[in-house]
């Protein structure tokens, strides 16, 4: 063995075992969330006291279990996960029994006919070879679209090519599954399952392709295979280091949510200095948190800085962007403000306000977000208590020169 072989062997060993570790973490998360959904549905259908809880079941359950990351919104996602992928019970049962966890899946053993003897399997989930399923999907999708880009409803019952449960469970992280749950059309969902697995898409790439109507474009394309080849040339692929930074992974492992968000050194320094700067103003600001995580629909977002203003009796949300002003940033901040107004306001609180700080090498800009505030006088009262825009601009200008 020479030195290049030594370094190559060590790198190969690390990559292999790192991938195995990431896969194990994600399979445990997927198994837990599927089982959570399974038990919720079982209770809703057969629970002795289910009528007592009704629509409040998930909120009451979240209070009772007190598990980090399993709030009412997440519990609802787990329920939807089980209802969308009920056949995963076989794979999850096999996974748990291979680790000696059969005691928690007795109901699965009966429902999915999973033999307790690992070598005596009496039920197997259907597994389609991916290339065959992919070709079948392209043919079916193409039949749903005309060249004028309008969808054609198909009266006959469709036979949707299925991706085997083993591939869903082993090749897709739960973070991948979340955006798939928002797709009601089974054929469309199967298309994205296959393409994500085939192209090793990152979660961000999967969301991007859904948002840019990749499925619909494949349907109207004369050569969908060529289209997907072009898509995959530019696609962002999943990396183990990115998978483990998923908020769902951090929740599962009990780590701090602030560690999920990666920031440049400049952003980190600026946010730290802004936090100190605002507190030093002495205008009633009380620091609540940094990189405060919120869950909207099926996606996590992070607010850079959150304060509570004891004089105004409201939350103040601060977002920093180390770039020129972009209206999308303002829309995002308005979304955060609306979320805090709807979900975080306590009795006696006033509506929250947001501060957007934008900076690049040549300019600084400050914008205030007052989403949902209809009374101009009340907005004016807010602005009288908050630092003037000029104060922020002067501070940012000074910080940029020093950093």
Domain boundaries, the chain: 126-255, 264-402
pLDDT for the residue 84: 94
Q: What is the distance between the alpha carbons of residues 49 and 397, in angstroms, rounded to a whole number?
A: 62
pLDDT for the residue 57: 92
The CATH number assigned to the domain with range 264-402 reads: 3.40.1350
Q: What is the distance between the alpha carbons of residues 82 and 293, in angstroms, rounded to a whole number?
A: 25
Name residues whose C-beta falls within 8 Å of residue 254's C-beta, 6 or more positions apart in sequence. Answer: 68
Name residues whose C-beta falls within 8 Å of residue 163's C-beta, 6 or more positions apart in sequence. Answer: 128, 130, 133, 190, 193, 194, 197
pLDDT for the residue 320: 84
**Which tokens belong to 291?**
């990189």
pLDDT for the residue 312: 84
Q: Is 222 helix (H, G, I), strand (E, B) or coil?
A: coil
- Global confidence as pTM: 0.64
Q: In what order do the strands lie in the sheet with 353-359?
A: 285-296, 299-309, 314-321, 353-359, 364-369
Closest of 238, 270, 250, 294 to residue 71, by C-alpha: 294
Integer CA distances (angstroms), 139 to 151, 167, 191, 264, in order: 14, 22, 11, 45
Per-residue pLDDT of the chain (403 residues; tens, 9 = 90+): 787 888 888 888 888 887 777 788 888 999 999 999 999 998 998 888 888 888 889 989 988 988 888 888 889 999 999 999 988 888 888 888 777 666 666 666 666 655 444 433 333 333 345 666 667 666 666 666 654 444 434 343 455 667 888 889 988 989 899 999 999 999 999 999 999 998 989 888 999 899 888 999 888 888 888 888 888 888 888 776 666 667 677 677 766 655 555 555 556 667 777 878 887 776 788 888 888 888 887 778 889 889 998 888 889 898 888 777 778 888 888 899 999 988 888 888 888 888 888 876 556 777 787 766 555 455 666 666 777 778 887 877 777 776 5
CB 53 within 8 A of CB 60: yes
pLDDT for the residue 31: 92
CB 293 within 8 A of CB 246: no
**Adjacent-strand bridge partners of 289:** 306
pLDDT for the residue 192: 93
SS3 for 281-337, per residue? CCCCEEEEEEEEEEEECCEEEEEEEEEEECCCCEEEEEEEECCCCCHHHHHHHHHHH
Q: What is the distance between the alpha carbons of residues 187 and 149, in angstroms, rounded to a whole number?
A: 18
């Amino acid at each position: 063995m020479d030195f290049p072989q030594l370094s190559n062997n060590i790198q190969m060993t690390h990559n292999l075992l790192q991938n195995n570790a990431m896969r194990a973490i994600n399979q445990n998360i997927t198994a837990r969330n599927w089982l959570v959904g399974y038990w919720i549905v079982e209770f809703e259908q057969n629970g002795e006291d289910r009528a007592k809880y009704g629509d409040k079941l998930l909120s009451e359950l979240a209070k009772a279990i007190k598990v980090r990351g399993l709030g009412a919104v997440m519990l609802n996602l787990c329920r939807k996960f089980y209802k969308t992928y009920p056949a995963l019970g076989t794979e999850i049962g096999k996974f748990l029994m291979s680790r000696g966890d059969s005691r928690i899946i007795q109901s699965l053993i009966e429902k999915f006919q999973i033999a307790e003897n690992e070598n005596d399997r009496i039920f197997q989930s259907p597994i389609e070879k991916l290339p065959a399923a992919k070709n079948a999907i392209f043919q079916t999708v193409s039949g749903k679209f005309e060249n004028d880009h309008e969808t054609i409803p198909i009266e006959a019952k469709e036979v949707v090519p299925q991706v085997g449960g083993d591939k869903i469970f082993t090749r897709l992280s739960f973070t991948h599954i979340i955006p798939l749950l928002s797709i009601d059309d089974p054929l469309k969902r199967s298309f994205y399952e296959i393409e994500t697995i085939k192209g090793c898409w990152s979660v961000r790439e999967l969301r991007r392709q859904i948002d840019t109507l990749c499925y619909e474009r494949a349907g109207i394309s004369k050569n969908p295979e060529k289209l997907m080849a072009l898509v995959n040339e530019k696609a962002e692929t999943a990396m183990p280091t990115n998978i483990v930074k998923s908020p769902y992974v951090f929740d599962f492992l009990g780590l701090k949510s602030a560690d999920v968000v990666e920031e440049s050194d400049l952003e980190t320094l600026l946010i730290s200095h802004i936090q100190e700067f605002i507190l030093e103003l002495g205008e009633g600001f009380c620091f609540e948190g940094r990189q405060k995580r919120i869950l909207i629909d099926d996606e996590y977002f992070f607010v850079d800085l959150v304060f509570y203003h004891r004089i105004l009796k409201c939350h103040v949300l601060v977002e920093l962007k180390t770039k020129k002003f972009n209206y999308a940033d303002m829309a995002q901040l308005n979304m955060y403000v609306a979320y805090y107004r709807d979900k975080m306001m306590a009795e006696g609180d006033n509506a929250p306000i947001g501060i957007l700080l934008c900076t690049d090498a040549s300019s600084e800009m400050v914008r205030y977000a007052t989403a949902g505030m209809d009374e101009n006088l009340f907005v004016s009262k807010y602005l009288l208590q908050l630092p003037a825009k000029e104060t922020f601009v002067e501070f940012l200008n000074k910080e940029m020169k020093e950093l």
